[in-house]
């Protein structure tokens, strides 16, 4: 493997230790513990049984990664277009799993016991499918934490002839800790078996954590969808996924052409910026907030790029003061304190954020020289990644 592949593998491994992943490990262990302790399998059969559930869970995770990697295909576009709806429905389903684990909902299909024998192997599919579904849905819950790393990998993959290898390396690095956990779950279960009085409490705690995570996924999605529906009549149409839509046309290559939403905003220096005035140049719109950890990690790269600004590139950083964000003066103080001189325009009424469908931060849009949306990138990027996608936009390559 080349150096880039090793780096991607490392990023995948480090993603496992993000604050969105570690809290669900007790849930994961409790899920395996509950099923394994119900069965009378021993020795290697028990280990194989547990590892089978681990593989199903990991396969669910990998499915999301590889779907995301299909950036040029329709299914990836559909998932991204409907990510709010997926978060809503996925959150509801995870809450449902939590209620089942707490024992508040009794579903015979989910509560049935199966033996992993050769004659009855097919009957085990229901439980394996549940493990697969948990891995698939949890991948969406992890997005806020692993999204910045994964986003950078997807961009690198899009610009690389080894895209499949890069996605495989990231996914492999991320799931290896899960596989190790699956291999040694039996030892953990032996310890749990000596602590049987603790296990029911762990199951209850796991159910509560599932409900919390499900609500964490679905409640913001409900709020975003509700806000979009309330303002849709006055601001045109926005998709369920939160991205701006327009009546599409196509260019000479058959790709959709979506005009960028035009706006006029004022920056921290009192200068007025109208997006359409920059036709003929590539415009990078970077949406951020001072409370956003990943935004703050990305801004030094934005500043470096701004200081080396090519003639055909315009950088506009967009901030919406008020609400969870500090006020306008607080944002200006933040910029001054950190030495950021790039133009930061203030979307005080939220219309620019709304029309660009911003539901997570940071998010970066690239507008091509004709004033059309070239593409967008959720999550933080480093300078190298920014330069790569700018070059792709400059050459009008497939995003």
Q: Is 197 exposed, middle or buried (0-12, 13-18, 19+ CB in 10 A)?
A: exposed
Q: How far apart are CA 331 and CA 53, in angstroms?
A: 48
* 260 and 380 inside one domain: yes
301 located within any domain: yes
Q: Give the chain's domain count.
A: 2
* 287 and 149 inside one domain: no
242 located within any domain: no
Element (H, E) at 289: none
pLDDT digits (tens, 9 = 90+) for 33-43: 556 555 665 66
Q: Higher pLDDT residue, 384 or 88?
A: 384
Most confident of 26-40, 184-198, 262-276: 262-276
* 86 and 136 inside one domain: yes
361 located within any domain: yes
CATH of the domain at 302: 3.40.30.10
Residue whose C-alpha is closest to residue 71's, from 157, 169, 12: 157
Asked if 125 contacts 56 with a C-beta cutoff of 8 angstroms, the reply is no
Q: Higher pLDDT residue, 347 or 236?
A: 347
44 located within any domain: yes
Q: Is the dihedral of CA 17, 21, 24, 30 positive or negative?
A: negative
For residue 378, give its domain range.
249-394
Q: How far apart are CA 244 and CA 224, in angstroms?
A: 14
* 279 and 338 inside one domain: yes
* 263 and 222 inside one domain: no
| Encoded tokens for 315 | 């950088």
239 located within any domain: no
10: Cβ–Cβ under 8 A, 6 or more apart, which residues?
Answer: 173
* 323 and 191 inside one domain: no
Q: How far apart are CA 98 and CA 130, in angstroms?
A: 13
* 204 and 289 inside one domain: no
CATH of the domain at 107: 1.20.1250
* 213 and 93 inside one domain: yes
pLDDT digits (tens, 9 = 90+) for 340-371: 999 999 999 888 988 898 877 889 999 999 99
374 located within any domain: yes
Average pLDDT, the chain: 74
241 located within any domain: no
* 214 and 254 inside one domain: no
Degrees, nearest 5: CA angle 189-194-195: 90
* 207 and 263 inside one domain: no
* 355 and 258 inside one domain: yes
pLDDT digits (tens, 9 = 90+) for 155-165: 555 544 455 67
* 289 and 388 inside one domain: yes
Average pLDDT over residues 328-332: 96
355 located within any domain: yes
pLDDT digits (tens, 9 = 90+) for 93-126: 768 867 876 778 766 644 444 333 333 333 444 4
288 confidence band (pLDDT: 50, 70, 90) = very high
């Amino acid at each position: 493997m080349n150096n880039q592949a090793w780096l991607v593998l490392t990023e995948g491994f480090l993603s496992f230790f993000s604050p969105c992943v570690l809290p669900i490990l007790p849930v994961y262990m409790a899920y395996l513990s509950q099923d394994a302790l119900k069965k009378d399998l021993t020795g290697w059969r028990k280990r194989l049984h547990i590892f089978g559930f681990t593989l199903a869970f990991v396969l669910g995770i990998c499915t999301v990664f590889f779907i995301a990697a299909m950036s040029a295909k329709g299914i990836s576009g559909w998932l991204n277009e409907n990510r709010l709806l997926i978060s809503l429905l996925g959150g509801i389903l995870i809450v449902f799993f939590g209620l089942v684990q707490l024992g508040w909902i009794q579903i015979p299909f989910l509560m049935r016991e199966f033996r992993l024998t050769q004659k009855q192997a097919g009957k085990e599919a229901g439980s394996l499918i549940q493990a697969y579904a948990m891995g698939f849905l949890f991948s969406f819950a992890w997005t806020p934490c692993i999204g910045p790393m994964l986003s950078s990998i997807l961009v690198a993959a899009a610009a690389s002839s080894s895209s499949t290898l890069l996605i495989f390396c990231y996914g492999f690095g991320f799931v290896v800790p899960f596989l190790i956990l699956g291999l040694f779950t039996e030892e953990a279960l032996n310890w749990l078996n000596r602590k049987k009085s603790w296990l029911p409490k762990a199951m209850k705690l796991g159910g509560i954590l599932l409900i919390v995570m499900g609500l964490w996924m679905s409640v913001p999605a409900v709020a975003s969808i509700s806000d979009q529906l309330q303002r849709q009549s006055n601001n045109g149409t926005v998709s369920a996924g939160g991205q701006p839509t327009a009546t599409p046309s196509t260019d000479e290559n058959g790709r959709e052409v979506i005009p960028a939403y035009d706006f006029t905003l004022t920056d921290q220096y009192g200068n007025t910026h109208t997006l359409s005035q920059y036709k003929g140049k590539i415009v990078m719109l970077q949406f951020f907030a001072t409370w956003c950890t990943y935004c703050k990690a990305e801004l030094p790269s934005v500043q470096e790029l701004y200081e080396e600004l090519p003639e055909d590139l315009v950088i506009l950083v967009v901030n919406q003061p008020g609400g969870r964000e500090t006020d306008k003066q607080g944002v200006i103080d933040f910029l001054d304190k950190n030495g950021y001189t790039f133009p930061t325009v203030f979307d005080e009424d939220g219309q620019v954020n709304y029309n660009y469908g911003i539901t997570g931060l940071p998010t970066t849009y690239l507008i091509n020289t004709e004033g059309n949306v070239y593409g967008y990138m959720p999550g933080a990027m480093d300078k190298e990644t920014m330069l790569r996608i700018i070059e792709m936009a400059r050459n009008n390559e497939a995003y």
